[in-house]
Structure 1
Amino acid sequence: MKQQIFQVDAFAGELFRGNPAAVCILEEWLPDNLMQAIAAENNLSETAFAVPEGKGYEIRWFTPVTEVALCGHATLATAHVLFHEQPGEKHPLPTDADRLEFYSRERGTLTVTRRGDWLELDFPADPPAEAKLPVGMVEAMGAEPRECLRGTTDYLLVYEDQAAIEALNPDFGLLKQIKARGVIVTAPGDAVDFVSRFFAPQSGVDEDPVTGSAHTMLVPYWSGRLKKQHLEALQLSARGGQLRCESRGDRVGIAGRAVTYLAGRIRLPNLKNS
């Protein structure tokens, strides 16, 4: 059995920037253990799988070690594939459509709207609340934050300035012991409204290049702090990522560009024997 696969650099306007994600558009769901094995073989921070459902697609996301409840950059990558690559025969998207609906198991309906060469995610907001610094966090990060907050799955650590974010060099062995999906660090940006980085050794990803889901926490925080609805953001990984964000009350808009790096086929085992 052969399956089409794409690799897309998300939140990037050129190749080798942003966050690479693998995308498989399926006709029907593969066994969970097989999808996890594909994600592990890809060894990217996320592999997205989508199956046509009604007028849109059901979507799931896997890191190399686990399934996650929400992933922004792999959703952006999946939308890019559907808008530009038109995989498979069961393709419910009209050629002139500019909006996609994705149905997720834990976060409800997610939409992606095409605006020129930018794709805008509409995700549920995850406003962070003040939290006590977990034992070992300062030692793991190597620098004490000015604020500690927590959302549904992640910690959010706020530092003084962009230079402090750039200088962080976490001890991933220690950070892996913090009970969370991952840790977001953020500060005001020098040339944008805010900057961030995202560390998730707990989920098999030491540092994620660009993390759309982290911005469901970052956007409500910075919108409230800066009293702005529209925000420009950079994620300061080695690959870097540019995001345009909007606070919409209980939703957030997160926009970025994407480019296809690879299109091919993978060989899957005989499912009757898998």
Structure 2
Amino acid sequence: MRIRIVDAFTDRPFAGNPAGVLLLDAFPDDDRLQQVALEVNHAETAFAHPLPEGREADWALRWFTPAAEVAMCGHATLATAHVLRTTGAHQGPVRFATRSGVLIATPREDGSITLDFPTAPLTRVDLPDGVAEALGAEPLSTFDTGSNIGDLLVEVADEKTVHALKPDLKALGAYSERGIIATARAEDPGRGYDFVSRCFFPNIGIDEDPVTGSAHTALAPFWSERLGRAELTGLQASARSGRVHTELRGDRTLLSGRAVTVIEGELLA
């Protein structure tokens, strides 16, 4: 069984967000998938298998963290589409059947891939007691992102504050299903990005996610409303870092980026 490690939302190795990708004939039992994801030990491992012709999708796709299956994952979807294209397993746009419905990945002539994801519904909420202390910064506003991604989106004062965050991860886990998205406007849009973010997901075994496609389905509507533009670029300011190009289209959000395969091997167990 071939396994590949792909760095997503980057055009160079050892940056962006690494994902395991396995192309299968069919899904084994859930325990087996979870064991493999734990062994790979990246934020997510993607498992995909082809579907019969005539179905609403071309491939079935599931994502597992080292601790749990998740309902949506952007970077591992991008990584899977990259593997399908580079191995010749699928050419052109690919439709994935997932827990979040049919998600479409479209390769572009410039080498990037665009994902078509549902836009997260944002609901402004009062600041929960203790969030500022757990995050290590005073929020300007807080939003629930809905059940699909299950995060609390927190706007902070500025980009420097986002970079400097050193949250109490154990305490953060009490405030949302998955974790916290911290964000601020870019200090200098001339650097090629419009907003900055960091994502902390202690409840699914990820202290800090390097680059989170799914979070940008909430960040896109949040910043598009404030900046007055449908197309934006976000910088996720983790240690590995990566950029996500977003385009808001009502109840759908397009996420674009590149990917690089860095490891390919055989799963023996």
Q: Distance in 2 between matches of 1:136 and 1:158?
A: 15
Match of 1:223 in 2: 224
Confirm or deny that 1:232 pairs with 2:230: no
- 1:227 Cα offset (Å): 1.1
Match of 2:132 in 1: 138
Given candidates 178, 190, 196, the residue that maps to 1:181 is: 178
Given candidates 160, 164, 168, the residue that maps to 2:161 is: 164
- 1:36 Cα offset (Å): 0.2
The residue type paired with residue 128 of structure 2 is P
Given candidates 59, 74, 89, the residue that maps to 1:57 is: 59
Q: Equivalent residues in 2 for 1:13-24 (5 A)?
A: 13-24=11-22
Match of 2:36 in 1: 38
Q: What 5-or-longer segments of structure 1 have no aligned partner?
A: 269-274
- Contact kept, 8 Å, 1:154 with 1:184, in 2: the verdict is yes
Number of aligned positions between the proteins:
257
Ranges of 4+ aligned residues in structure 1 off by more than 3 Å: none
TM-score, reference length from structure 2 = 0.93
The residue type paired with residue 164 of structure 1 is T
The residue type paired with residue 11 of structure 1 is F
Q: Distance in 2 between matches of 1:123 and 1:179?
A: 21
Q: Equivalent residues in 2 for 1:72-221 (5 A)?
A: 72-86=74-88, 91=89, 93=90, 97-105=91-99, 107-115=100-108, 116-152=110-146, 153-189=150-186, 190-191=188-189, 192-221=193-222
- 1:29 Cα offset (Å): 0.8
The residue type paired with residue 94 of structure 2 is L
- 1:133 Cα offset (Å): 2.1
Q: Distance in 2 between matches of 1:226 and 1:167?
A: 24
The secondary structure found in structure 2 opposite 1:267 is: coil
- Contact kept, 8 Å, 1:48 with 1:62, in 2: the verdict is yes
Match of 2:71 in 1: 69
Match of 1:271 in 2: none
Match of 2:252 in 1: 251
Q: What 5-or-longer segments of structure 2 have no aligned partner?
A: none
- Contact kept, 8 Å, 2:152 with 2:175, in 1: the verdict is no
Match of 1:272 in 2: none
TM-score, reference length from structure 1 = 0.91
Q: Distance in 2 between matches of 1:77 and 1:180?
A: 25
Q: Distance in 1 between matches of 2:131 and 2:3?
A: 38
Q: Distance in 1 between matches of 2:218 and 2:41?
A: 26
- 1:54 Cα offset (Å): 3.4
- Contact kept, 8 Å, 1:233 with 1:244, in 2: the verdict is yes
- Contact kept, 8 Å, 1:127 with 1:221, in 2: the verdict is no
Aligned residues with identical type, % of pairs: 47
The residue type paired with residue 40 of structure 1 is L
- 1:98 Cα offset (Å): 2.4
- 1:135 Cα offset (Å): 2.8
1:76-128 deviations in Å (ceiling 9; x for gaps): 00000000023xxxx4x2xxx321110112x1110111112111111000131
Confirm or deny that 1:29 pairs with 2:27: yes
